[in-house]
Amino acid sequence: MQTLLTSSQMQTVDAYTIKQQSISSVNLMESAAKAFVKAFKKEVLDKDARISILCGQGNNGGDGLAIARLLNKEKYKNSTVFLINFSAKLSDDYTKNLKRLSKAKIPIVEIKEPGEFNEIKVDVVIDAILGSGLNKPLSGKYTSLASIINGLKKQVIAVDVPTGFNGDDLIPENYNGIKADVVISFQRPKINFFFPESVVAMNRFKVVNIGLDENFIERQQSNWKLTTRADVQKIIRPRAGFSHKGTYGHALIVAGNNTTMGAGLLAASASLHSGSGLTTVCLPQSGLIALNTMLPEVMALPRNEHLAIEAFEKFNAIAIGPGLGFDEENEELLEKLIDLKKQFVIDADGLTILSKREDLLVKLPAKTILTPHMKEFDRLFGKHESWWQRVATAREKAQQLDLIIILKNQYTFICLPTGDVHINATGNPAMASGGMGDVLTGTITAFLAQCYSPADAAILAVYLHGKAGDDLAKESFTVNALQLALQIPKTIKKLLKS
């Protein structure tokens, strides 16, 4: 797990590292520039590319000057440095790097007015104008320059953050900063990189290590965590010697209806492939042939109005919702199930029922896992104007109601009752197709059945679901839900081996 920090916390880390490691701030800047250049070389392979390096007058600009010098050493021969001199204040390390740069034979152009930057014959722009020191909205000359750069429609690579991008708070719809193709950020991604609103400022990001004190970072107070491969490797337990099907629990998937039977089958397949010892699906009679044909390993509990609630008692984890329908009968079933006080995952139509029945929402057993996508979430907790607002509500509700709320998106936010938000960064757009959420539900249920704690089951399942999608997307333009369910055991095996 990596702790994610705000820009001001990163400044503290910066200062601490300088003090504790007896490294000067200009040397820290040098290591940031080196790390940037290493990543840049993978982005821009052509050493003849015409590169414009735009440097502000703070430390972000200082980075830019050091980068210019290092790129020159790396034989990028067509670079020009533009000094964006819109302010009177220069940082010390900027001044030191300007002096160092003067020894290299790189053209330097001073820009005092935005219109003076009219470099249209450029292939790559390096944006080192303003970084994480942004302390007010962008305006005046900076806005005009950002608009000129965006208008060039060239490849833009930003140092640490795009100019005008606030790393820690809502990005306004009328964002007026630079739009980067790639951001090469230092040591930790900014929290805002994971919010969909950041799409106006960047297409993707990379994070490079610059030698900041990791232990100190991890000691900082922050509720934002990023799940790493190492975390998942620590959580996941290998299959034990002398174990048998009883060792790995019995998952029940209450799902499927005449026109949405597939949702139940997908969730059941995911449960089976994610390692639950036994899986049963509670589905209508009309789904039995499909189930027995497709998943002979999975058992059925035919769902009808005569089904007694005692039939649900033997399961140690129950998922309710994929393709279930939300008529009165299903509402009654959900109500009865909740009274059993089992470990639940509630998804899809189960969530729709909860959005109509607040009395049930507040009765959910502790650590019940909810898996809404954006629309389901807003149906449950009210309309939200932004993802910052939505995540804030999810965090608050998880604490208030003692629930685990998995708010699904490209980057999924797992909100725990502790107030922590675990961000998941696996997964990709090849997975954007129906049934994917049903598979996630089945996977979570399987981990609950195997007695992982609800928080671990959520973190593990979300990571593996995305990772399985990433593994498949290496070879395929699209990834469908059933393929993904089948991939999960292979992805787990690979994680355990490495």
Say whether 103 sits in a helix, a strand or coil. Answer: coil
**Residue 434, marked binder:** no
Residue whose token pair is 């189960």: 350
Say whether 235 sits in a helix, a strand or coil. Answer: helix
Q: What is the DSSP letter of 123?
A: S
Query: Which uninterrupted H or E stretch holds 327?
Result: none
Task: Identify what 428 binds: ligand NPW, ligand ADP, none; CB under 5 to 8 Å per kind.
Answer: ligand ADP
Of 90, 100, 104, give the one whose Cα is nearest residue 59: 90
Nearer to ligand ADP, 13 or 457 (CB): 457
Q: Which residues contact residue 400 at a Cβ distance below 8 angstroms, ignoring those fewer than 6 apart? A: none
Task: Identify what 154 binds: ligand NPW, ligand ADP, none; CB under 5 to 8 Å per kind.
Answer: none
Task: Identify what 70 binds: ligand ADP, ligand NPW, none; CB under 5 to 8 Å per kind.
Answer: none
What six digits make up the tokens of 13? 């880390």
Nearer to ligand NPW, 124 or 129 (CB): 129
How many of the chain's residues bind ligand NPW (CB under 6 A)?
30
**Residue 244, marked binder:** no
Instruction: Name the one range near ligand NPW by CB under 6 A: 46-54, 133-141, 413-421, 463-471.
Output: 133-141
Of 271, 295, 277, give the one whose Cα is nearest residue 442: 271
C-beta nearest to ligand NPW: residue: 133
**Residue 133, marked binder:** yes
Nearer to ligand NPW, 131 or 323 (CB): 131
Task: Identify what 29 binds: ligand NPW, ligand ADP, none; CB under 5 to 8 Å per kind.
Answer: ligand NPW
Task: Identify what 132 binds: ligand NPW, ligand ADP, none; CB under 5 to 8 Å per kind.
Answer: ligand NPW
Q: Which residues contact residue 125 at a Cβ distance below 8 angstroms, ignoring those fewer than 6 apart? A: 51, 52, 54, 149, 152, 154, 155, 156, 157
**Residue 410, marked binder:** yes
Of 431, 432, 454, give the one whose Cα is nearest residue 444: 454
Distances, alpha carbon 217 to alpha carbons 213, 223, 307, in Å: 6, 13, 54
Identify the burial level of 358 via C-beta atoms within 10 angstroms of its C-beta, where 0-12 means exposed, 13-18 middle and 19 or more buried. Answer: exposed
What is the distance between the alpha carbons of residues 35 and 492, in angstroms, rounded to a whole number? Answer: 31
**Residue 435, marked binder:** no
Q: Are the beta carbons of 359 and 387 closer than 8 angstroms?
A: no
Q: Is 58 in the site for ligand NPW (CB under 6 A)?
A: yes
Residue whose token pair is 């990433």: 470
Of 109, 112, 114, 145, give the one whose Cα is nearest residue 127: 145
Find the shortest distance in angstroms from Cβ 83 to ligand NPW.
13
**Residue 249, marked binder:** no
C-beta nearest to ligand ADP: residue: 437
Out of 3, 6, 60, 426, the only residue in the binding site for ligand NPW (CB under 6 A) is 60
Find the shortest distance in angstroms from Cβ 404 to ligand ADP.
14
> Which residues would be at the binding site for ligand ADP (CB under 6 A)?
348, 373, 408-410, 412, 427-429, 431-432, 434-438, 440, 465-466
Out of 51, 54, 98, 130, the only residue in the binding site for ligand NPW (CB under 6 A) is 130
Find the shortest distance in angstroms from Cβ 391 to ligand NPW.
23
Q: Which residues contact residue 437 at a Cβ distance below 8 angstroms, ignoring those fewer than 6 apart? A: 322, 347, 348, 371, 373, 408
**Residue 66, marked binder:** no
Please enumerate, by residue number, every residue annotated as part of a binding site for (6S)-NADPHX. Answer: 59-63, 131-137, 142, 160, 263, 323, 373, 438
Please enumerate, by residue number, every residue annotated as part of a binding site for AMP. Answer: 408-412, 437
Please enumerate, by residue number, every residue annotated as part of a binding site. Answer: 59-63, 127, 131-137, 142, 160, 163, 263, 323, 373, 408-412, 437-438
